[in-house]
Structure 1
């Protein structure tokens, strides 16, 4: 019975993998992450989609997207200390975000308590961090390897990253190369992470209503978790509530309201 159940689970996962490329964000990924306040454009207005990301930049983006700060506050309350890093002082521009991702296990420092904030992030590191930030339970290693072996370079994914990489593959958040390669050791680009987070936001969407133009699909999902919203109690998951509140705060002058019916 156990083997049958594992076979069914694997079949369902592989069926999901085969659907990669059929999932599309509701709007342009670059526009969506910029409007959500997750990423920003260069001074000349370009998004620089092909530019690589540093570890500090990735930490900042993940904290803005997921509810990592609240998790960090809980962790700090339990441990009563922050993590000392040799190469990230309290004056570093991304110090709070780096502390948040380390203390919640989303990203890890290197030996010698170094974070290497300016180091370029690989696709394996970046997509693994996205999976960790999202908090999904990763599939077992055997199933992860079965998912990844469908790609020409799936077996080149580092062992430590395979479950997390299989998670983002299964969810359709990964951008494959033209020859269907995962390219785990290539740099993660701003375009890669914009598409992944745009798909995440689109898959976890709720409706906001602009009183002038009508419905906008944006940033929230139905759930039975009740939290305090700007307009009273409503159902918002911990991961997405921060995003919704930030968008509402930023857009209040444009008279946006939320449809929570």
Structure 2
């Protein structure tokens, strides 16, 4: 299915109605094995902390999300980056370690600032926000509302997904990128952890792997 970057202000809506993820107390999703975590470490999309630990339950900040998305989708190569000047962000000076990546996600409209051009780089993101912004970089499927509802209905807490995130989350669900708890809940209002993001990225990397070529069988004409 053809993917189109959402031109409605999906991410703009996210930014205008921010969710303070750190205030949520929902049950954390189970971490089943570490293969997917190692996969994203090997791909250099998320690094261990200086002490060599991954800390899967640590929460993702907006600055960290920006850095991850630039690496995963090579956003620095998107044409819009070369066409726009650097934006003045009061809380992200040029000395900030995430300055370049934050500038890139802003220039490509993958993420937006809040009112007054503030980015709040240290603010934690909810799963709804993180998944919606990931889908924005990946390409949001322009499903009709009936299809969105059909995709999300099997998840018991689908009604908790904010309206602005439903189409984006339907995209990641349909692509098999999302992790859920044992009851199939998406937990959209819970904080997004490093393990959550690693799972999404590992599934994305798996999708990017080249399919094996069809072997040539002697005596069989090639179409």
Give TM-score scaled by structure 1 length.
0.65
Match of 2:99 in 1: 95
Matched, 1:130 2:134: yes
Matched, 1:56 2:63: yes
Q: Which has the higher strand share?
A: 1
The structure whose RCO (Cα within 8 Å, separation 6+) is larger is 2
Q: Which one of 104, 110, 120 corresponds to residue 108 of structure 2?
A: 104
CA–CA separation in structure 2 for the residues paired with 1:84 and 1:158: 30
In the alignment, is the contact (CA less than 8 A) between 1:141 and 1:162 conserved in 2? no
CA–CA separation in structure 2 for the residues paired with 1:77 and 1:192: 31
Partner of 2:115, secondary structure, is: coil
Task: Call closer, same or farther: CA 1:194–1:201 in 2, change over 3 Å.
Answer: same
Q: Which one of 138, 151, 157 corresponds to residue 155 of structure 2?
A: 151
Task: Call closer, same or farther: CA 1:141–1:87 in 2, change over 3 Å.
Answer: farther
In the alignment, is the contact (CA less than 8 A) between 1:40 and 1:47 conserved in 2? yes
CA–CA separation in structure 2 for the residues paired with 1:140 and 1:90: 41
Matched, 1:78 2:83: yes
In the alignment, is the contact (CA less than 8 A) between 2:143 and 2:167 conserved in 1? yes
Deviation at 1:83, TM superposition (A): 1.9
How many residue pairs match? The answer is: 182
Deviation at 1:43, TM superposition (A): 3.0
Deviation at 1:138, TM superposition (A): 3.4
Match of 1:237 in 2: none
Q: Which runs of 5+ in 1 are unaligned?
A: 1-23, 208-216, 222-261
Deviation at 1:76, TM superposition (A): 4.1
Q: Which runs of 5+ in 2 are unaligned?
A: 1-31, 214-223
